[in-house]
């Protein structure tokens, strides 16, 4: 029996684990992707005390700190959470079942899909949602990135360092990205931006992606398509327990990070807290606060 099982090994889950261990709570972190979303960022410049470093490097240090504090780690995917406060059962895809007095949801977001024909078919064979993860497979090749916000802009800049040409497809007539990224894009000779360009189909053959068909009938030759159109909170695991969500699917939490279901807490991008400002520093703070709140609640329960 764990005092706390933390679902998600990212910028909310790992700080929560570290604080939980400092409070002498027996805790287990279960995460399918160690480091979470930040681990896929090739360059992070807004983590205090670190002017510039890779997301993976920062998250590796998070994990090392949590382990050194006494937290246990399991790389696996949670498939269900059942039970009530003091007696939750958490089951994983790998066949492991653990019990916990409290559960902290720190699953972050899931990538949005285009929904275009060919997207699912060529996933892993030319279609990707993570430039840092898969960019090296496309060195010297022409690729397309679909998106219009900061994520698309920064991933496109990263890919421009690897690929011979990067074409950014923006479905509207302007970027939503910060001006600093838009200016950097304009400085690259191997980058092209096509506005009012919506994807109709991703095409290819058994060898992989060959081109992108746009809704205006034109085509963009490429060997890779990176989709960067945002993400949505992933609360599917605890929704069956009756956890309240807002209209965007975010978990509603109070000032202690508690949900409406006793024993279930949430932290990070999946929640309504921090004014939904989805930044690592906010997720880390929420994770630490959640661990503190759980510790206090446990003390009250055992008094």
Angle between helices 280-302 and 13-22 (to 10 degrees): 40
> What single string gives the DSSP state of each residue in 208-231?
EEEEEEETTS-EEE-SEEEE-S-E
Per-residue burial over 34-63, b = 16 or more CB atoms within 10 Å of its CB, e = otherwise: bbbbbbbbbebeebeeeeeebbbebbeebb
How are beta strands 2-7 and 27-31 bridged, if at all?
parallel
Give the number of other CB atoms < 10 A from CB of residue 162. Answer: 17
Q: Is 184 exposed, middle or buried (0-12, 13-18, 19+ CB in 10 A)?
A: middle
Q: Residues with catalytic annotation?
A: 130, 133-134
Task: Kindly give, in sequence order, each residue whose CB lies less than 8 Å from that of residue 296, ignoring residues fewer than 6 positions away.
Answer: none
- The residues with which 193 forms a beta bridge, in sequence order, are 168
CB 72, CB 28: distance < 8 Å: yes
Neighbours of 108 (CB within 10 A): 25
């Amino acid at each position: 029996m764990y005092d706390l099982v933390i679902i998600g090994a990212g910028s909310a889950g790992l700080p929560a684990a570290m604080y939980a261990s400092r409070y002498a709570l027996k805790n287990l972190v279960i995460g399918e992707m160690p480091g979470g979303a930040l681990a896929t960022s090739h360059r992070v410049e807004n983590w205090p005390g670190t002017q510039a470093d890779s997301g993976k490097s920062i998250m590796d240090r998070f994990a090392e700190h949590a382990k050194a504090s006494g937290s246990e780690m399991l790389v696996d995917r949670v498939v269900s959470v059942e039970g009530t406060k003091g007696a939750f059962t958490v089951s994983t895809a790998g066949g492991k079942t653990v019990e916990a007095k409290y559960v902290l949801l720190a699953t972050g977001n899931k990538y949005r899909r285009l929904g275009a024909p060919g997207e699912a078919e060529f996933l892993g064979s030319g279609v990707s949602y993570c430039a840092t993860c898969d960019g090296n497979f496309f060195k010297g090749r022409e690729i397309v990135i679909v998106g219009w916000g900061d994520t698309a802009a920064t991933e496109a800049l990263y890919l421009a360092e690897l690929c011979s040409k990067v074409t950014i497809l923006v479905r509207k007539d302007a970027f939503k990205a910060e001006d600093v990224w838009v200016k950097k894009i304009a400085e690259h000779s191997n980058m092209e931006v096509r506005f009012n360009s919506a994807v109709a189909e991703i095409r290819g053959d058994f060898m992989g992606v060959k081109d992108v068909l746009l809704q205006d009938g034109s085509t963009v030759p490429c060997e890779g398509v990176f989709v960067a159109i945002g993400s949505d909170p992933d609360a599917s695991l605890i929704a069956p327990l009756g956890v309240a969500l807002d209209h965007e699917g975010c978990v509603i939490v109070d000032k202690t990070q508690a949900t409406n279901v006793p024993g279930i807490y949430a932290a990070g991008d999946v929640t309504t807290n921090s004014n939904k400002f989805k930044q690592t520093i906010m997720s880390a703070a929420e994770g630490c606060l959640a661990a503190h709140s759980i510790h206090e609640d446990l003390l009250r329960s055992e008094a």
